[in-house]
Structure 1
Amino acid sequence: MISAILLILITIFVPPVGVFLVAGCGMDLFINILLTLLGYFPGHIHAFYIEYVYYKRRDEARAGIYDSRRAPGVYSENVQRGGGGYGTM
């Protein structure tokens, strides 16, 4: 809970850092940097969407629900799996 609140606070001020903490260095981070440079608001929308998908998938995995469909617009496997490692969860 505390980590989610800290992540939200970080994302409010610097959206790419929030995406980096969840998705790592990859296409999602690159897209977020571009969106933030185009305007602060689009960067926020993208960052909070990435974080929403991450926490939703993580909570579903903990409840034993595994969604095999990919979330649209999310390129990070870490976010797609909700932080689960490679292989079975």
Structure 2
Amino acid sequence: MAITFSDIFKVLFALILPPLGVFLEVGCTKDLLINILLTLLGYIPGIIHAFYIIIKH
């Protein structure tokens, strides 16, 4: 899988605000809700989930 230029920005946004990175990748789906909950429970789990979603799609 090739990494595009926009993926770099999504990763940067995922570091700053994980739900924003997920929203840019998949839109308003259940993955966004999961990421919001993980970010509220702990910042690091939200970042890990955001990276997973960005790399998976």
User: Does the TM-score normalized on the shorter chain lie above 0.5?
Assistant: yes
Bigger share in helix: 2
TM-score, length of structure 2 as denominator length: 0.88
Runs of 4+ in 1 over 6 A off after TM superposition: none
CA distance in 2, matches of 1:51, 1:33: 15
CA deviation profile, 1:19-70 (whole Å, cap 9, x unmatched): 001111010000000000000000011110011111xxxxxxxxxxxxxxxx
TM-align CA RMSD: 0.8
Aligned to 1:4: 7
Identity of aligned residues (%): 57
Name the residue aligned to 2:36: 33
1:15 equivalent in structure 2: 18
TM-score (norm 1): 0.58
Unaligned runs of 5+ in 2: none
2:8 is aligned with what amino acid? I
2:35·2:50 contact (CA, 8 Å) conserved in 1?
yes
Amino acid at match of 1:14: L
Q: Which has the larger radius of gyration?
A: 1
How many residues in Structure 1 have an aligned counterpart in Structure 2? 54
